[in-house]
Amino acid sequence: MTSIAMIEAAAGRAADRVRRTPLLSSPFLDDIAGRRLFVKAEALQHTGSFKFRGAWSAISALSPEIRARGVIAFSSGNHAQGVAHAAALHGISSVIIMPEDAPRMKIDNTAALGAEVVLYDRAGGEDRDAIGARLSAERGLTLIKPFDNAEVIAGQGTTGLEIAEQATAKGVTQADVLVCCGGGGLTSGIALALEARAPGLRPRPCEPEGFDDVTRSLAAGARATNPSPTGSICDAILTPSPGELTLPVMQRLCGPGLVVSDDEALEAMALAWSRLKLVLEPGGAVALAAALFRHETITGDAVIAVASGGNVDASVFARALARLG
Amino acid sequence: MTSIAMIEAAAGRAADRVRRTPLLSSPFLDDIAGRRLFVKAEALQHTGSFKFRGAWSAISALSPEIRARGVIAFSSGNHAQGVAHAAALHGISSVIIMPEDAPRMKIDNTAALGAEVVLYDRAGGEDRDAIGARLSAERGLTLIKPFDNAEVIAGQGTTGLEIAEQATAKGVTQADVLVCCGGGGLTSGIALALEARAPGLRPRPCEPEGFDDVTRSLAAGARATNPSPTGSICDAILTPSPGELTLPVMQRLCGPGLVVSDDEALEAMALAWSRLKLVLEPGGAVALAAALFRHETITGDAVIAVASGGNVDASVFARALARLG
């Protein structure tokens, strides 16, 4: 299991390679939120999302011999780009397995970052796990899971170390920390870091409507599952259920979850654009949306929202901008 | 005249109030630029542009008695918002004089930041200087000029102190530093800071086609003027000629200017959006555009571009996004 010592070790390995992202704010957003609102701008991380932190942590934690054989990941999204770039910077090869109907831009970006992209036919029933197992066995590749991996969680936890330092520097020691939540890697990593470094900061997972498996799991005290795998524009955080490693951490350390609509995520994207000059994707904007539009369920005179990613298609972004009409 | 001691004093007064903006990068942009490209993300500054630095510096440098009477500025753009917000944070009043045909959003934003906005009828021949002189005399307001003010230049120079530190930390000690240039306050401030702290970093002003008064002034060794006051989407940096205080500094310390088209500025905005997750306005994107599209006139294995502002209308931004189509 991930410990604060592992998170600090991940931070040590990340020095100069993982970007320390700023904590942004705007008086216009404070007004809407009804309190001081600080936005951890993790969309500014390398590859446009926090996923680079976990990928860097997991790859840098491997022994040189194991690492040299390369890594493999299943992802069509931010994890793919994080693993591809972290592998390239380590000078090792990466194989990313994606469905062949993934957006062309994501396939191209991942390949351009240096990965070998292997496409499989999702509709035709090809088994991606079998493909991955075969490649791993043949080439000795190490699988980097997106969240159920203790070193990945440690890497995401470095975000929490920075939040603890940055919030303390602003005099904020008691506040909710809202985190965009899919499988829970970022949320549980931040939770472990804050427990050790800023115990007055309470993490709370934020999810889109219809995909609130973590919120319901925390409320019920038992693992919940989403009824459908698709159906929200917040594609980066649509996981079927909480992770095996992450749920126990979130149950022990997190406050209640917050749920927002796709429309509210788009509105938060528009406000991040106009007030923070920050590009967010829908799944990376749900925590900001919760801070702005669920403020009646938040207490205290300050709140922190983690803006976890900004990899969004121009057409979706245009929908957010159109709201500013 | 502004000195390095004044810039360092401005940095001291700015501590915790002016945001230290990150130096961003992307392997995709490196490929286009043909070298390592670092982007000083000053659009993330409070009020969305570097202008807050100069405003904070000038207001914080006033004696408490003078400051308490309030300040006044002429601006319909980024300087207005910077002065309004810096004044409000000092707990003093500000008067901003704007043409009544300025965009409603800019008027509203400036007022929302706490300024008293006084509109004048540009078409009807009202004399804004006379209005300003009357208000200043009646109320003892101090005029904060946008660039021809030694303390404003010192404040903009704090950007240069950060660039010197951040570039050195990345091992970059010899490089061109491209700066979006209107009246020259930011360019000359950065130039003075780099002269003292990183003499291998050479500032170069960047301007839009048809508004290259600084580039021509440097080339000719004499003050040049733009033929037209309007006609580019880079509205933030359309000044008629270089400043009185700023031109001598730029003549002494800057390399040759770089000129880009409006189309290239839009393309740079699109790339900053997709690769850096950073929102730029056209005038804030010309230095990045020069780094990307004038790379044959740049030498060395690294270049730094200052992305100076991000206050842009949604309709203009949509034009940039449409290029990604």
Lowest mean pLDDT among B19-23, B116-120, B126-130, B185-189: B126-130
pLDDT greater than 70 at residue A197: yes
- Residues of chain A with Cβ-Cβ distance to B21 below 8 Å are 22
Considering only CA atoms, which of A95, A284, A41, A91 is closest in space to residue B41?
A41
Identity of the amino acid at A182: G
**Min Cα–Cα distance to chain B from A43, Å:** 6
Residue A289's pLDDT band, with cuts at 50, 70 and 90, is very high
Q: Are residues A313 and A196 in the same domain?
A: yes
Residues B48, A277: C-beta atoms closer than 8 Å: yes
pLDDT greater than 80 at residue B123: no
Whole-number Å distance between alpha carbons of B86 and B196: 27
Q: What pLDDT is attached to residue A115?
A: 97
- DSSP per position, B253-295: H----EEE-HHHHHHHHHHIIIII-B---HHHHHHHHHHHHSG
Residues B95 and B141 sit within 8 Å (Cβ to Cβ):
yes
Strand pairing of A201-208 and A175-180? parallel
- DSSP per position, A92-158: --EEEEEETTS-HHHHHHHHHTT-EEEEE-TTTT--HHHHHHHHHHHHTPEE--SSS-HHHHHHHHH
Q: What pLDDT is attached to residue A54?
A: 98
Q: Are residues A284 and A308 in the same domain?
A: yes
Predicted confidence (pLDDT) per residue in A9-68, tens digit = 999 999 989 999 999 999 999 999 999 999 999 999 999 999 999 999 999 999 999 999
Whole-number Å distance between alpha carbons of A224 and A241: 6
Residues B241 and B294 sit within 8 Å (Cβ to Cβ):
no
Instruction: Identify the domain boundary among A106, A140, A174.
Output: A140
Q: Are residues A184 and A161 in the same domain?
A: yes
A268 found inside a domain = yes
Whole-number Å distance between alpha carbons of A238 and A245: 18
Cβ neighbours, 10 Å, residue A241 = 16
- In chain A, residues 247-306 whose CB comes closer than 8 Å to chain B: 273-274, 276-280
Instruction: Identify the domain boundary among B113, B140, B167.
Output: B140
Residues B317, A321: C-beta atoms closer than 8 Å: yes
| Structure ipTM | 0.96
pLDDT greater than 90 at residue A101: no
Q: Are residues A33 and A158 in the same domain?
A: yes
pLDDT greater than 70 at residue A325: no
3-state secondary structure (DSSP) of residue B72: strand
**Min Cα–Cα distance to chain A from B295, Å:** 21
Whole-number Å distance between alpha carbons of A104 and A313: 11
- Residues of chain B with Cβ-Cβ distance to A266 below 8 Å are none
> Total domain count for chain A?
2
Adjacency order of strands within the sheet including A175-180: A23-24, A36-41, A302-307, A175-180, A201-208, A258-260
Q: Which string of b and e fits A38-67 if b means at least 16 CB within 10 Å?
A: bbbbbbbbbbbbbbbbbbbbbbbbbeeeeb
Q: Is the dihedral of CA A297, A158, A111, B38 positive or negative?
A: positive
A310 to chain B: closest CA residue: B277
Q: Of B16, B22, B112, which is closest to A19 when you measure between CB atoms?
A: B22
Whole-number Å distance between alpha carbons of B192 and B52: 19
Predicted confidence (pLDDT) per residue in B241-288, tens digit = 999 999 999 999 999 999 999 999 999 999 999 999 999 999 999 999
- Residues of chain A with Cβ-Cβ distance to B288 below 8 Å are none
Q: How many CB pairs below 8 A link A and B?
A: 67
B65 found inside a domain = no
Strand pairing of A142-143 and A116-120? unpaired
Whole-number Å distance between alpha carbons of B95 and B72: 5
- Residues of chain A with Cβ-Cβ distance to B27 below 8 Å are 85, 112-113
Angle at A42 between CA B189 and CA A309, to 5 degrees: 125
For residue A124, the enclosing domain spans 70-140
Name beta bridge partners: B259.
B207
Q: Are residues A135 and A23 in the same domain?
A: no
Considering only CA atoms, which of A205, A162, A158, A209 is closest in space to residue A184?
A205
B57 found inside a domain = no
Assigned token pair, A301: 């005179």
Identity of the amino acid at B160: G
Q: Of A44, A276, A324, which is closest to B22 when you measure between CB atoms?
A: A44
Token look-up 């979130």 returns A250
Token look-up 């929908």 returns A319
Whole-number Å distance between alpha carbons of B181 and B282: 12
Whole-number Å distance between alpha carbons of B72 and B55: 11
Lowest mean pLDDT among A87-91, A94-98, B103-107, B229-233: B103-107
Q: What pLDDT is attached to residue A121?
A: 87
Q: Are residues B43 and B99 in the same domain?
A: no
pLDDT greater than 70 at residue A5: yes
Whole-number Å distance between alpha carbons of B201 and A82: 32
pLDDT greater than 80 at residue B310: yes
Q: Are residues B272 and B198 in the same domain?
A: yes
Residues B44, A27: C-beta atoms closer than 8 Å: no
Q: Are residues A130 and A161 in the same domain?
A: no
Q: Of A27, A274, A279, which is closest to B113 when you measure between CB atoms?
A: A27
- In chain B, residues 20-49 whose CB comes closer than 8 Å to chain A: 20-22, 24, 27-28, 41, 43-44, 48
Predicted confidence (pLDDT) per residue in B43-91, tens digit = 999 999 999 999 999 999 999 999 999 999 999 889 999 999 999 999 9
Instruction: Identify the domain boundary among B140, B166, B181.
Output: B140
Q: Are residues A179 and A300 in the same domain?
A: yes
Does B57 or A235 have the greater pLDDT score?
B57
Residue B101's pLDDT band, with cuts at 50, 70 and 90, is confident
Residues A232 and A260 sit within 8 Å (Cβ to Cβ):
no
Q: Are residues A121 and A195 in the same domain?
A: no
Say which CATH number the domain at B266 has: 3.40.50.1100
Residue B127's pLDDT band, with cuts at 50, 70 and 90, is confident
**Min Cα–Cα distance to chain A from B127, Å:** 32
B25 to chain A: closest CA residue: A46
Whole-number Å distance between alpha carbons of B99 and A316: 36
pLDDT greater than 70 at residue B325: no
B58 found inside a domain = no
CA distances from A36 to A30, A31, A291 (A): 5, 8, 10
Q: What pLDDT is attached to residue B1?
A: 87
A264 found inside a domain = yes
- In chain A, residues 185-244 whose CB comes closer than 8 Å to chain B: none
Residue A224 DSSP class: -
B260 found inside a domain = yes
B61 found inside a domain = no
Q: Are residues A106 and A21 in the same domain?
A: no
Q: What pLDDT is attached to residue A89?
A: 97
Please enumerate in sequence order all residues whose Cβ is within 8 A of that of B62, keeping only pairs 6 or more positions apart, or say none. B71, B142
B32 found inside a domain = yes
Residues A21, B24: C-beta atoms closer than 8 Å: no
Q: Are residues A214 and A277 in the same domain?
A: yes
